[in-house]
Amino acid sequence: MTDTPCCVPEWRLIELFFQYLVAGLTYGTIYAIVGIGFNIIYNTTGIINFAQGEFVMLGGMTAVTLHAFLPLPLAILGAVLITMAVGGLIEIVFIRWLVKPSVLRMIIITIGISILVREAALMLWGEGVRSLPYFTGNEISALSFGGVRVSPQVLWSLGVCAIVVVLLNLFFKFTMLGREMRACATNRDAATLCGIPTRNMITLSFVLSAGIGALAGCVVSPITQTQYAIGSGLAIKGFTVAILGGLGNSMAAVAAGFILGILESFSIWVMPTAYKDAISISILLAMLFLRPSGLFGNREAFKLKDF
Partner 1 sequence: MSIFTRLAAALTIVAAFIAPAMAADTIKVGAILAVTGPASFLGAPEAKTLEMLAADINAKGGVGGKKIELIIKDSQASPEKAISFAKQLIEEEKVFAIIGPSTSGETMAIKNLAEESKTLLLSCAAAEVIVKPVAKYVFKTPQMDRDAVIRIFEQMKKMNISKIGVLSSNTGFGKAGKEQIEKLAPEHGIQVLVSEVYDKAATDLTAEVTKVSAAKVQGIINWSIEPAQSICIKNARQVCSTVPVFQSHGFGNIQYVKAAGAAADGVIFPAGRLLVADSLSDKNPQKSILLSYKKAYEAKYAGEDVSTFGGHAYDAFMILTKAIKEAGADKEKVRTAIENMKGFVGTGGVFNFSAEDHNGLDKNAFEMLTVKDGKFVVLDK
Between 54 and 264, whose beta carbon lies closer to partner 1?
264
Contact 219, 157 (CB under 8 A): yes
User: Which member of 146, 193, 273, 303 binds partner 1 (CB under 8 A)?
Assistant: 273
CB atoms within 10 A of CB 110: 22
CA 104 – CA 42 distance, rounded (Å):
13
24 binds partner 1 (CB under 8 A): yes
Task: Extract the runs of DSSP E, i.e. beta strands, from the chain.
Answer: 143-145, 148-150
Part of the chain binding partner 1 (CB under 8 A), chosen from 58-66, 84-92, 165-173, 226-234: 226-234
User: Which member of 4, 69, 146, 290 binds partner 1 (CB under 8 A)?
Assistant: 4
54 binds partner 1 (CB under 8 A): no
User: Which member of 44, 49, 110, 227 binds partner 1 (CB under 8 A)?
Assistant: 227
Q: How far is the CB of 61 from partner 1 (least distance, A)?
A: 14
Burial of 29 (0-12, 13-18, 19+ CB in 10 A): buried
Residue 248 phi, psi dihedral angles, 5° rounding: 100, -10
Between 276 and 291, whose beta carbon lies closer to partner 1?
276
Q: How far is the CB of 84 from partner 1 (least distance, A)?
A: 24
Contact pattern for partner 1 over residues 117 through 146, marking x by CB under 8 A: -----x----xxxxx-x----xxxxx----
User: Which member of 74, 104, 200, 269 binds partner 1 (CB under 8 A)?
Assistant: 269
CA 115 – CA 131 distance, rounded (Å):
22
Part of the chain binding partner 1 (CB under 8 A), chosen from 26-34, 103-111, 186-194, 242-250: 26-34
Name 249's Cβ contacts closer than 8 Å, sequence gap at least 6: 39, 294, 296, 297
CB atoms within 10 A of CB 1: 3
CA 86 – CA 56 distance, rounded (Å):
12
Between 11 and 98, whose beta carbon lies closer to partner 1?
11
For partner 1 (CB under 8 A), the number of binding residues is 51
277 binds partner 1 (CB under 8 A): yes
Neighbour-count burial for 230-257, b at 16+ CB within 10 Å, e otherwise? bbeebbbbbbbbbbbbbbbbbbbbbbbb
254 to 93, 123, 222, 233: CA distances (angstroms): 31, 33, 20, 18
290 binds partner 1 (CB under 8 A): no
CB atoms within 10 A of CB 68: 7
Applying the rule CB under 8 A, the residues between 144 and 203 that interact with partner 1 are 149-151
Q: Which residues of the chain form contacts with partner 1 (CB under 8 A)? A: 1-8, 11, 16, 19-20, 22-24, 26-27, 30, 122, 127-131, 133, 138-142, 149-151, 220, 223-225, 227, 229-230, 233-234, 264-265, 268-269, 272-274, 276-277
